[in-house]
Amino acid sequence: MRSRSLLTALMLFTALTLAPAARAGRSCEPHRATVASVERGLRLAQRTHEALEAQHARDGTRVVLLARAGRDLTRYGLRYSHMGIAWRTADAQGRPAWRVLHKLNACGTASADLWRQGLGEFFLDDPWRYEAAWSVPTPEVQGKLLALLAHDAGAVRLHHRPYSIVSYAWGTRYQQSNQWVLESLAMALEPAASSRERAQAWLQLRGYEPTVLRLGPLTRLGGRMSAANVAFDDHPDAKRFSDRIETVTVDSVFAWIERAGLGAAPVRLQDEH
C-alpha cells in the first residue's frame, strides 16, 4: 500500500510540475511541489473523503462548503483562506467520490475561472496548514445547492472573471473566490437573486457581515504595485482611506451560515504528520 501511495504521489508530482499555476487562497510565491508535500496533500484528501462518507452514512449529507488553509492569514485573525462547494457523486467505476466546484485565480493575472476538481487536487500545492474544514448545510439548503450544481449555466451565472483577492464585499467590479461561493449560495436559496447586485442585497437582508481587514496605505499601495490580483479601487473611499477593507472570507461565511440557521458549525480535520 505504501509503494502504491508513493507511486501515485510521484505521478501527481510530475503532473504538477508541468501544470499551469492557478491558485486561490494559496501563496503565489514560486516553489516546486515535493513528493512529501504531495503525499501529505493526498493523505488529507483521503481523510476528508472518509470523514465526508461517514457523515453521509449518518445523515445523508451530499453537499458541504469545504475550505482549506492555503495562505497564512493569522495576522488578520483568520484560519482559512479558500472555499468551494463540494458534493457527493460517483467516479467512472461507480464508486463514491466527492468533487469540488471552486474559483481559481491564475497567479500573476487579474482574472479567474471556475474549476471542478477532486479532493486530491483541492488539497495539493503545499498549503500553509494541512487542514480541512467544512460546514454541512441544512437538508433544504443542500437540495438547492445540488440543483444549482446540476446545471453548468446556473453554476456559472454569477461568476465574474475580473479578480481581486480583497474585492469589496458589496461591489461588482471584481469577484474573489469566497465571494463567488457566497453569492452563488444566495442565488440558490433565492432564485430572484439572479444578479450579483440582487444576491448581495439578499445577503445584507439576511445579516451577512464581511470581514473588515485593517490595511494601512503602505500595505495597500505595496499590494497593488506588486500583484495584478490585488486591487483596492472598488472599495468606497470613505472606508478605504480609514483603513477598512471589507471582503468575503471563509471564516465570515462559516460564522454567518451557523448564525443564520443555514448550516452547522464547521467540522475541522487536520493532518498532523
Q: Which of 251, 169, 240 is nearest to 204 (CA)?
A: 169
**Residue type for 149, please?**
L
Q: Which of 143, 122, 260, 139 is nearest to 202 (CA)?
A: 260
pLDDT tens per residue across span 195-253: 999 999 999 999 999 999 987 553 544 445 447 788 889 999 998 888 889 999 999 99
Name the residue range of residue 138's domain: 2-270
User: Quick one: cell of 241?
Assistant: 482611506
pLDDT tens per residue across span 34-66: 888 889 999 999 999 999 999 999 999 999 999
78 and 249 in contact (C-beta within 8 Å)? yes
Contacts of 67 (CB under 8 A, 6+ apart): 80, 81, 82, 83, 84, 132, 133, 134, 250, 254, 266
User: Quick one: cell of 114?
Assistant: 471556475
pLDDT tens per residue across span 103-138: 999 876 899 999 999 999 999 866 889 999 999 999
Question: Based on C-alpha coordinates, what's the Rg of the chain?
Answer: 18
Total number of domains constituting the chain: 1
pLDDT score at 7: 39
Largest CA distance in the chain: 59
